[in-house]
Amino acid sequence: MIQALRGMKDILPSDNERFIYIIETASRIAKRYGYDYIETPLLEETSLFKRSVGESSDIVGKEMYQFIDKGGHDVCLRPEGTAGVVRAFIQNKLDKKGGIHRFYYHGPMFRYERPQKGRLREFHQFGCESFGEPSVFEDFTMILMIKDIFDTLGIGYTIKINSLGCPECMPGYREKLIEHLHDIRDGLCEDCQRRIETNPIRVLDCKVDSCQALLKVSPVIVENLCESCDSDFNTLIGLMKSHKLPFELDPKLVRGLDYYTRTAFEFVSSEIGAQSAIAGGGRYNRLVEFLGGKPTPAVGFALGIERIMELVEMPEKGRQGLYLGFMEPEAIGTILELAHRKRQSETVHTEYGKKSLKAHLKAADRLGAKRIGIIGEDEMKAGEIWIKDLETKEEKRIAIDQFD
Ligand code: HAM
């Protein structure tokens, strides 16, 4: 039997309400914050991700679904949504237009990771990207929007924040860090030893305990920020405090993608195990320029829909819709006509075969219908239908043309 690929999941009807509910809730809230829907392709040139997410990141280095297409182009399935949106922003000359542009999107992302609970190879994100607004108030407003989404979905979280500095302060910090990493090199894991050269900042969030023990005394980014980054970071902290958001400063939060500058944040849940990040994002003021556009400040985030599905309690739905059936085969024409009329306003299940009343009632119950309508011999002669409300147990016979 052919099975879905490892780390890829079907979203069956039993789950899809939760899936759609998350997307609809997040979309509704994003629209209120001024975001418009954008759709970008699942497949992009590999170089887009190399240049944005970063060649030395795990995502690009180890996890891409990359292949040469029939035209000889090096392409890959998108591992994340930001790069494609930035490419679309530049390609459609919105960078030249100036002003503020805000987009939201949702869809599948692909990363060839080691599958485990909460970590898939195909997963879905809902994300937002805001272009043109350099103010840290935009970063804060985005965090508030995510708070609104999670509060509406009834999900608990804490927020981790950090600053990743800018081209003015980061090179100096990097030097300091590299120096320190060389001092402790022998005690670091193989990955970290390699990263000293390729991506020293990533060493900070290594998950190996012995590395973390050595890193306890390593230089801290937020103690090495330039005046402007420091001022923004303090403004953000002040806003988080005055709005009583549940947050902590995490000097080791460096994110797995290389495009961030200044604000970086993650929303984490304590209820879903090791893969606890339910949303992540930050500012990326250099990326538009880096991909060939006019320098444009930007900030964004994405949330992981599958991880959130684990946490959402769906409102109790109750019985819904109408079940229509007959006990006289000649009634099929009337049932089809009636079903079509009723479908203009509600969900209708029709049974095309003759069945006993008991069998119809059982079928309606299994489908979770609120009402059942049956045409038996007597009803057919009288041009009527028997209706029962399966919640209130009320029943009646009415003329078919008066059934509304
Ligand atoms: P990210 O932190 O890589 O950021 O992913 C965002 C969220 O996607 C994570 O917090 C997590 O909930 C979910 N996620 C990531 N990988 C997996 C996986 N393998 N299985 C299930 N869920 C996963 C980004 O992708 C950035 N593009 C966010 C962003 C937008 N930054 C600026 N704008």
- Please answer whether residues 261 and 285 qualify as being in contact, where contact means their C-beta atoms are separated by less than 8 angstroms: yes
Last residue of a domain, one of 254, 277, 311: 311
Section 215-241 average pLDDT: 96
Residue 80 Cα to ligand 1 middle (Å) = 7
List all residues whose CB is within 6 A of at least one atom of ligand 1: 80-82, 111, 113, 119-120, 123, 125, 127, 129, 256-257, 277-282, 300-304, 306-307
Of all protein residues, the one whose alpha carbon is nearest to atom 2 of ligand 1 is 280
| Model pLDDT, residue 14 | 83
Residue 34 Cα to ligand 1 middle (Å) = 22
Section 267-288 average pLDDT: 96
Section 13-42 average pLDDT: 96
Residue 307 Cα to ligand 1 middle (Å) = 10
- Exposed / middle / buried, residue 5 (Cβ in 10 Å: 0-12, 13-18, 19+): exposed
Say yes or no: 268 and 379 in one domain.
no
Residue 304 Cα to ligand 1 middle (Å) = 6
Say yes or no: 362 and 262 in one domain.
no
What is the rounded CA–CA span in Å between residue 77 and residue 373? 49
Report the predicted TM-score, pTM, of the whole model to 2 decimal places: 0.93
Residue 265 Cα to ligand 1 middle (Å) = 12
Total domains in the chain come to: 2
- Please answer whether residues 398 and 387 qualify as being in contact, where contact means their C-beta atoms are separated by less than 8 angstroms: yes
| Model pLDDT, residue 313 | 87
Residue that wins the pLDDT comparison between 215 and 387: 387
Whether 364 maps to a domain, the answer reads yes
Say yes or no: 279 and 136 in one domain.
yes
Work out the mean pLDDT of the chain and round it to a whole number.
Answer: 96
Q: Is residue 404 scored above 90 in pLDDT?
A: no
Section 356-366 average pLDDT: 96
Q: What residue numbers bound the domain in which 44 lies?
A: 13-169+225-311
Whether 339 maps to a domain, the answer reads yes
> Kind of pairing, strands 66-68 and 247-249?
unpaired
Whether 218 maps to a domain, the answer reads no
Q: Is residue 346 scored above 90 in pLDDT?
A: yes
Q: Is residue 242 scored above 80 in pLDDT?
A: yes
Say yes or no: 90 and 112 in one domain.
yes
Question: What order of strands is seen across the sheet that includes strand 384-389?
Answer: 348-350, 322-326, 371-375, 384-389, 395-399
> Which runs of consecutive H residues, i.e. helices, occur in 166-246?
170-184, 190-198, 200-203, 209-215, 227-242
What is the rounded CA–CA span in Å between residue 101 and residue 288? 13
| Model pLDDT, residue 261 | 96
> Kind of pairing, strands 101-110 and 122-131?
antiparallel
Say yes or no: 300 and 333 in one domain.
no
Strand partners, 127: 105, 302
| Model pLDDT, residue 185 | 92
- Please answer whether residues 321 and 345 qualify as being in contact, where contact means their C-beta atoms are separated by less than 8 angstroms: no
Q: Is residue 123 scored above 80 in pLDDT?
A: yes
Say yes or no: 147 and 18 in one domain.
yes
Span of 29-43, 137-151, 197-211 with lowest mean pLDDT: 197-211
Q: State the CATH number of the domain containing residue 290.
A: 3.30.930.10
Of all protein residues, the one whose alpha carbon is nearest to atom 3 of ligand 1 is 256
Whether 212 maps to a domain, the answer reads no
Kindly give the number of the ligand 1 atom that is closest to the alpha carbon of 82: 27
Say yes or no: 296 and 364 in one domain.
no
Confidence of residue 88 (pLDDT cuts 50, 70, 90): very high
Say yes or no: 307 and 242 in one domain.
yes
Section 304-310 average pLDDT: 97
Q: Is residue 230 scored above 90 in pLDDT?
A: yes
Say yes or no: 387 and 252 in one domain.
no
